[in-house]
């Protein structure tokens, strides 16, 4: 808000409200960046104990019982490049832990124990589906080049044919999970992944991993929000020379405006005021203390994405939400406040600068200045 200036006090009020209107439009991170991370979780190795036993002792081996321990700790370290909000390329080194088993046999009489470990390298395409500005659903698919090492020992007549063996093989992997941005420099993930690896014998088995990851973006530049223009203070002409019995005509109150970013007040495509937006409106109402104003006009605007009918209704609901907050929470007089919505009819961006009609991350960012709520105050200090 800017009041009609006529003294030093009024100019100070103008400066304070100019800072408010620019701080509401916070900086946002650019979507492309490099990142690194570490992941720790639990693995489950799906072993075929019978096939592994017969590979070591012979196809006619009689098995009477099996005991297995398929769970262990797994970890991964990785580097990646986020091309945009929806796609990244990620490579890393993984250790899937160990799976072990013991089988009791009759022919030959005895028992066989084995354990298998897999380590290797992976390369994935990671897709992201943003649900909110900070929360995303992840999906990944890729290839992994892993080395599985097996060690066997026996009791009685059960003597393994290959006590120690290993095999390196390239197979596929895939997974899904969730990601949340704690800060622009720290992300947290929860994921489930399946690796298809060699069992060293004559086949493959699956290893499932449930993990939690910390991701650290680096070189992540910040994109400044579009600069908001604030109306310059009107020029006040010096008073004329004194005349007998002058008639003083009060100047017509000049409407002044504060523009609030819709993302700051509500979030993208929302109409409930966020805590950050409440703080901005609280600062705005504090600047009205001691002011004499006639009316406050609240006008909601949207960008051109979506249907005109939907955008019109959204702009009206946002304007009414701001009015309700100023009246019910901040105690302003309802009869002096009007709220209207103009939808997408008064953009501040130019069509040639923001090309396209299909919603993309780049177009949404370009049209950000159009999504706003203007508050016009008509009055004097």
Give tens-digit pLDDT for 301-347.
Answer: 998 888 999 989 998 999 999 999 989 988 888 888 999 999 889 89
Mean pLDDT value of segment 225-251: 68
Give tens-digit pLDDT for 344-364.
Answer: 898 989 888 888 888 888 888
The token pair at 375 is 């508050």
Mean pLDDT value of segment 159-164: 88
**For position 252, what pLDDT does the model report?**
56
**For position 37, what pLDDT does the model report?**
98
Same domain, 172 and 317: no
Q: Which residue has the higher pLDDT, 6 or 129?
A: 129
H/E segment holding residue 296:
strand 292-301
- Among candidate residues 171, 199, 218, the one where a domain is terminated: 218
**Dihedrals φ, ψ of 263, to 5°?**
-65, -35
Instruction: Tell whether 234 is covered by a domain.
Output: no
Residue 118 · residue 146 · CB < 8 Å: yes
Mean pLDDT value of segment 90-112: 94
Q: Output the CA torsion sign for 218, 132, 330, 321.
A: positive
Please tell me the total number of residues recorded for the chain in this structure: 381
Instruction: Tell whether 266 is covered by a domain.
Output: yes
Distance CA 193, CA 124 (A): 11
**For position 101, what pLDDT does the model report?**
93
Containing structural domain, residue 199: 33-218
Nearest Cα neighbor of 70 from 88, 52, 89 is 52
Same domain, 184 and 259: no
**For position 248, what pLDDT does the model report?**
61
Give tens-digit pLDDT for 106-161.
Answer: 989 999 999 999 999 999 999 999 999 999 999 999 999 999 999 999 998 988 98
The domain that contains 374 carries what CATH number?
3.30.1330.60
Same domain, 208 and 336: no
Write out the DSSP string of 13-28.
HHHHHHHHHHHTS--E
Q: What rounded mean pLDDT belongs to the chain? A: 84
Residue 124 · residue 173 · CB < 8 Å: yes
Distance CA 128, CA 86 (A): 5
Same domain, 192 and 259: no
Select the highest-mean-pLDDT range: 169-178, 196-205, 301-310: 169-178
Same domain, 146 and 41: yes
Instruction: Tell whether 183 is covered by a domain.
Output: yes
Mean pLDDT value of segment 291-295: 80
Mean pLDDT value of segment 96-108: 93
Task: Give the model's confidence band at 7: pLDDT under 50 very low, under 70 low, under 90 confident, else very high.
Answer: very low
Same domain, 74 and 23: no
Given a cut of 60, whether residue 224 has pLDDT beyond it is no
pTM for the model stands at 0.51
Instruction: Tell whether 235 is covered by a domain.
Output: no
**For position 377, what pLDDT does the model report?**
86
Measure Cα distances from 142 to 27, 77, 167, 196, 239 in Å.
Answer: 34, 16, 20, 11, 77
Residue 207 · residue 118 · CB < 8 Å: yes
Number of structural domains in the chain: 2
Same domain, 161 and 78: yes
Measure Cα distances from 90 to 85, 123, 187, 363, 373 in Å.
Answer: 14, 6, 15, 26, 40
Q: How far is CA 206 from the centre of its chain?
A: 31
CA terminus-to-terminus distance, the chain:
12
Instruction: Tell whether 54 is covered by a domain.
Output: yes
Instruction: Tell whether 122 is covered by a domain.
Output: yes
**For position 209, what pLDDT does the model report?**
97
- Among candidate residues 171, 192, 218, the one where a domain is terminated: 218
The domain that contains 213 carries what CATH number?
2.40.160.20
Task: Give the model's confidence band at 51: pLDDT under 50 very low, under 70 low, under 90 confident, else very high.
Answer: confident
Same domain, 153 and 300: no
- Read off the DSSP letter of residue 306: S
Same domain, 112 and 14: no
Given a cut of 80, whether residue 27 has pLDDT beyond it is no
Given a cut of 50, whether residue 4 has pLDDT beyond it is no
Given a cut of 70, whether residue 18 has pLDDT beyond it is no
Given a cut of 60, whether residue 75 has pLDDT beyond it is yes
Same domain, 363 and 350: yes
- Among candidate residues 195, 218, 241, the one where a domain is terminated: 218
Same domain, 82 and 198: yes
Same domain, 76 and 191: yes
Taking phi over 0 as left and psi of -120 to 50 as alpha, with beta for the rest, 84 belongs to beta
**For position 236, what pLDDT does the model report?**
76
Q: Tokens 């990944």 identify what position?
A: 140
Instruction: Tell whether 87 is covered by a domain.
Output: yes
Given a cut of 80, whether residue 169 has pLDDT beyond it is yes
Instruction: Tell whether 318 is covered by a domain.
Output: yes
């Amino acid at each position: 808000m800017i009041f009609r200036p006529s003294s030093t006090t009024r100019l100070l009020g103008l400066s304070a409200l100019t800072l408010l209107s620019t701080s509401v439009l916070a900086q946002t991170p650019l979507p492309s960046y490099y990142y690194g991370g570490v992941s720790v979780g639990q693995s489950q190795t799906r072993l075929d104990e019978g096939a592994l036993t017969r590979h070591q002792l012979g196809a006619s081996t009689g098995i009477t019982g099996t005991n297995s321990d398929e769970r262990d700790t797994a970890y991964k370290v990785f580097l990646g490049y986020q091309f945009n909000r929806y796609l990244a390329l990620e490579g890393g080194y993984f250790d899937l832990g160990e799976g072990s088993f013991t089988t009791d046999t009759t022919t030959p009489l005895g028992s066989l124990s084995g354990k298998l470990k897999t380590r290797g390298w992976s390369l994935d395409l990671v897709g992201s589906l943003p649900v909110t500005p900070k929360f995303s659903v992840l999906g990944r698919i890729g290839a992994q080049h892993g080395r599985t090492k097996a060690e066997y020992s026996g009791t009685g007549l059960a003597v393994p044919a290959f006590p120690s063996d290993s095999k390196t093989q390239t197979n596929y992997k895939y997974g899904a999970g969730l990601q949340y941005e704690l800060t622009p420099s720290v992300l947290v993930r929860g994921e489930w992944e399946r690796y298809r690896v060699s069992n060293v014998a004559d086949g493959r088995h699956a290893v499932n991993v449930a993990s939690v990851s910390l991701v650290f973006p680096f070189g992540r530049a910040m994109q400044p929000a579009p600069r908001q223009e604030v109306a310059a203070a009107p020029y006040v002409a010096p008073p004329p020379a004194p005349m007998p019995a002058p008639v003083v005509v009060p100047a017509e109150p000049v409407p002044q405006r504060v523009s609030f970013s819709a993302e700051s007040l509500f979030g993208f495509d929302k109409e409930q005021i966020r805590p950050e937006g409440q703080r901005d409106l609280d600062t705005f109402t504090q600047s009205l203390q001691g002011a004499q104003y006639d009316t406050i006009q609240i006008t909601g605007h949207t960008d051109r994405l979506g249907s005109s009918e939907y955008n019109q209704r959204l702009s009206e609901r946002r304007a009414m939400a701001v009015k309700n907050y100023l009246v019910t929470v901040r105690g302003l007089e309802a009869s002096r406040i009007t709220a209207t919505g103009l939808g997408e009819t008064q953009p501040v961006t130019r069509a040639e600068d923001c090309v396209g009609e299909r919603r993309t991350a780049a177009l949404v960012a370009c049209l950000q200045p159009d999504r706003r709520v203007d508050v016009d105050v008509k009055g004097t200090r």
